[in-house]
């Protein structure tokens, strides 16, 4: 039954969150992580009638919990707030029958079947695993990043760029992400400043050439952002020359931090294959180097990194798990 719509959020009245059975420790599928990938995997696994546990970690909802308006997730014509979207996804996942426990995984043992997943207080067993722990954008480490999170500081141009029409913006970083984000932002911004701590970009040559040819992009070499300030929202940044320590103030309406991401894969590092940056390596569709252990979303995908692609990967991993369990039970 579909339900009432209140503002942007679709509320399903009859879907009271199920209290998890804390004593139950054996499941068909254990999904680690509760962002769009984990919840979507949970929906598909539960609908396929697999007994499914989601261990949500310390930040249920993932990166979207830290965003404001989400305008590019299909199905919400007026957009939706990131935290609201994750609440709705969680309710939908629980309604399909998945058990969600808000606990953090501290260790895993994928050497033998059934696989073991440990939290600080419990040990769970799963016949199949989906890792959907996501990634976090690397931070500059400035107080202003916290103060102005969602108020001018962003880690995703695709998500937030459209909110900054005709404004001056600054992008921190010198890799492909920074150049890609800056180039994307020129669609909206009057000027995009790129601040890089060295005098050479790390980004690929073709991306560099495009950025150098773009009249809206200005480079600030050998500089770092050392302060972000404003009143309610970002109004300016202070740049510091890495060679001379000279400081300059730049008036900007938004700060986009694009200095890389860190996949949340540490707990799996001795169990499955990771690449040199810590991303999970997929071997056979969504399956990792261990048969029966699958991955979905930003923990393996450093290319697309969108809520909708993470959800898509969650669906794919769940379908692969269904096939795996059917063939191996």
Kindly tell me which of 119 and 208 has the beta carbon lying closer to ligand NAP.
208
Footprint on this chain of ligand NAP (rule: CB under 6 A): 138, 140, 172-178, 180, 197-198, 202, 224, 259-261, 302
- Give me the least distance between CB of 179 and ligand NAP, in Å please: 8
Q: Which of 131, 127, 129, 118 is nearest to 26 (CA)?
A: 127
Q: How far apart are CA 62 and CA 117, in angstroms?
A: 20
Residues in the chain: 329
For residue 13, the 8-state DSSP code is T
Per annotation, catalytic residue among 160, 301, 320, 322:
160
First to last CA, the chain: 33
Kindly tell me which of 35 and 137 has the beta carbon lying closer to ligand NAP.
137
Q: Which two tokens stand for residue 157?
A: 């141009």
**Which residues on adjacent β-strands are paired with residue 136?**
262
Report residue 227: phi and psi, to 5°: -155, 145
Query: Among this protein's residues, is 45 annotated catalytic?
Result: no
Q: How far apart are CA 102 and CA 66, in angstroms?
A: 18
Q: Which of 54, 27, 81, 40 is nearest to 297 (CA)?
A: 40
Q: Which helix (H) or strand (E) holds 316?
A: helix 307-328
Kindly tell me which of 54 and 142 has the beta carbon lying closer to ligand NAP.
142
Looking up tokens 């976090």, which residue turns up?
136
DSSP sequence for 33-68: --SHHHHHHHHHHHHTT--EEEE--SSTTGGGGG-S
Given its phi and psi angles, is residue 124 left (phi above 0), alpha (psi -120 to 50 degrees) or beta? beta
Kindly tell me which of 93 and 177 has the beta carbon lying closer to ligand NAP.
177
**Which residues on adjacent β-strands are paired with residue 274?**
280
Kindly tell me which of 170 and 178 has the beta carbon lying closer to ligand NAP.
178
- Give me the least distance between CB of 259 and ligand NAP, in Å please: 4
Q: Which two tokens stand for residue 327?
A: 């063939």
Kindly tell me which of 24 and 198 has the beta carbon lying closer to ligand NAP.
198
Query: Among this protein's residues, is 159 annotated catalytic?
Result: yes
Per annotation, catalytic residue among 103, 156, 176, 298:
156
Which residues are catalytically annotated?
156, 159-160
């Amino acid at each position: 039954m579909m339900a009432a719509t209140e503002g942007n959020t679709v509320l399903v009245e009859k879907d009271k969150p199920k209290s998890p059975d804390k004593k139950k420790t054996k499941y068909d599928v254990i999904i680690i992580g509760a962002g769009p990938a984990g919840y979507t995997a949970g929906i598909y696994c539960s609908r396929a009638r697999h007994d499914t546990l989601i261990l949500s970690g310390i930040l249920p909802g993932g990166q979207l919990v830290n965003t404001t308006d989400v305008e590019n997730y299909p199905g919400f014509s007026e957009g939706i707030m990131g935290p609201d979207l994750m609440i709705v996804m969680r309710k939908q996942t629980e309604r399909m029958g998945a058990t969600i426990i808000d606990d953090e995984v501290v260790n895993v043992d994928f050497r033998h079947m059934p696989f073991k997943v440990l939290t600080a207080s419990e040990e769970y067993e799963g016949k199949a695993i989906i890792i959907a722990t996501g990634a976090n954008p690397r931070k500059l480490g400035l107080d202003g990043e916290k103060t102005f999170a969602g108020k001018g500081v962003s880690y995703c141009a695709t998500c937030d760029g459209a909110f900054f029409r005709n404004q001056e913006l600054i992008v921190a970083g010198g890799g492909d992400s920074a150049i890609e984000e800056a180039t994307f932002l020129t669609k909206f911004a009057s000027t995009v400043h790129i601040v890089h701590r060295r005098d050479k970009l790390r980004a690929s040559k073709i991306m560099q050439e495009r950025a150098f040819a773009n009249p809206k992009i200005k480079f600030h070499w050998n500089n770092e952002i050392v302060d972000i300030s404003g009143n309610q929202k970002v109004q300016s940044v202070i740049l510091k020359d890495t060679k001379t320590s000279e400081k300059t103030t730049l008036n900007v309406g938004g700060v986009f931090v694009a200095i890389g991401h860190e996949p949340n894969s540490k707990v799996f590092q001795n169990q499955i294959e990771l690449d040199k940056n810590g991303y999970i390596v997929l071997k056979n569709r969504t399956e990792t180097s261990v048969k029966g252990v699958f991955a979905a979303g930003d923990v393996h995908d450093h290319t697309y990194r969108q809520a909708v692609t993470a959800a898509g990967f969650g669906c794919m991993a769940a379908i692969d798990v269904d096939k795996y369990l059917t063939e191996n039970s």
